[in-house]
Chains A and B, each alone.
Chain A
Amino acid sequence: MKVIINGRPHELPEGASVADAVGGVTGPAGLAGPGPAGPGAVPGGVAAALNDEVVRRSEWAATTLKEADRLEVLTAVQGG
């Protein structure tokens, strides 16, 4: 099936999950759990929205994608 990930078409097998798609974009780092504790600690630093709805990290593996879904995978960059 074809899904749009960060604005570009990707071919994924039927039954692929949000976790599969995020891992394909970020590599293992994006699927890592919470970062180290401390004032600047961040939990992974990556988030995903499926068809303009946020998918919680805990639901990535259980959320399967459908044909023509739009997935956005975002992280923090320099700005502001």
Chain B
Amino acid sequence: MDGDALVIAGEEIGSRLIMGTGGAPSMSVLREALVASGTALTTVAMRRVDPSARGSVLDVLSECGIRVLPNTAGCFTAGEAVLTAKLAREALGTDWVKLEVIADEHTLLPDPIELVDAAEQLVEDGFVVLPYTNDDPVLARRLEQAGCAAVMPLGSPIGSGLGIRNPHNIELIVERAGVPVILDAGLGTASDAARAMELGCDAVLLATAVTRAQSPARMAAAMRHAVEAGRLARGAGRIPMRRYAQASSPWEGIGTGATLTS
């Protein structure tokens, strides 16, 4: 759709499907999936240099012409997340960051207190902050008030594939948000991505559903189409739900003996 691009912090992003790179079994599989997804923005994590590592995810992104979005995955405190974001800015030359501050390793759910603290510090330091957040409309509003360039509520816990467990909350976030809403985490298959877009999200961010699928490239293509289909459906305006049937054929002119038409 012309004139319907995703815009974050004034910059146009060429796809509404944002891919994470975690979980792919090899760089070649990752490359195929990224290309099939049509993504224009892709997350990476920051970790200690491993001298024995072969092949760099940055080389793959550079070859594919995909913009890099560093995250702060694995950080438990605002201090850790801020330092990681600053290191990412230095290493990758971008002031965009997917802010992730988790509470524990069991649920990987965001710690809301540390998250808002880190968001405020990073916005103050000039970062474009895209926070991974709980599906809490109040927290989403606080993050937007802190100056975040988008809010990224989870559908369900990271890697769970449980889909969108609280669509009502996602709708509440979408209704009030003045920045893009990106459904992040928990999607399992294409219908989940379409649902996110039908609920009014501006984009989806996913990794595991593609990278750990039996055929990552095929699932990536499915996700690409699902995001487009969901966006189109949202724009088209769905019919209201009804308790009883409503005939789509006219009642007039029914022939002898006919009692019902559909």
Chain A residues engaging chain B, CB cutoff 8 angstroms? 6-7, 25-27, 30, 34-36, 38-49, 52, 54, 56-57, 72-80
Contacts and interface: CB of A to CB of B under 8 A. Distances in A.
Q: Which 10 A-B pairs have the closest CB atoms?
A: A79-B45, A80-B43, A47-B91, A40-B62, A47-B90, A80-B71, A76-B44, A80-B20, A47-B87, A78-B21
Contacts of A46: 49, 91
B83 interface: yes
Given A77-B57, A79-B22, A80-B43, A26 B62 contact: no
Q: How large is the interface on B (under 10, 10 to 19, 20 to 34, 35 or more residues)?
A: 35 or more
A74 B92 contact: no
Given A40-B62, A40-B65, A78-B22, A30 B49 contact: yes
A36 B6 CA distance: 26
A40 B47 contact: no
Contact of A43 (B67, B93, B100): B93
Most chain B beta carbons < 10 A, residue from A52, A79, A80: A80
Contact of B67 (A26, A40, A76, A79): A40
B68 to A, nearest CB: 6
A15 to B, nearest CB: 23
Most chain A beta carbons < 10 A, residue from B71, B73, B92: B92
Contacts of B57: 76-78
Given A40-B68, A45-B58, A54-B87, A34 B45 contact: no
B35 interface: no
A41 B58 CA distance: 8
B45 A54 contact: no
A73 B98 contact: no
Contacts of B45: 76-80
A80 B91 contact: no
Contacts of A57: 90
A57 B89 CA distance: 11
Given A40-B61, A46-B91, A76-B58, A27 B51 contact: yes
A6 B65 contact: no
B51 A25 contact: yes
A76 B66 contact: no
Nearest to A24: B51
A78 B24 contact: yes
A35 B62 contact: yes
Nearest to B21: A78
A30 B48 CA distance: 12
B130 to A, nearest CB: 11
Contact of B66 (A39, A44, A80): A39
Nearest to B61: A40
Contacts of B30: 78
A80 B49 contact: no
Contacts of A35: 58, 62
Contacts of A39: 65-67
B63 to A, nearest CB: 7
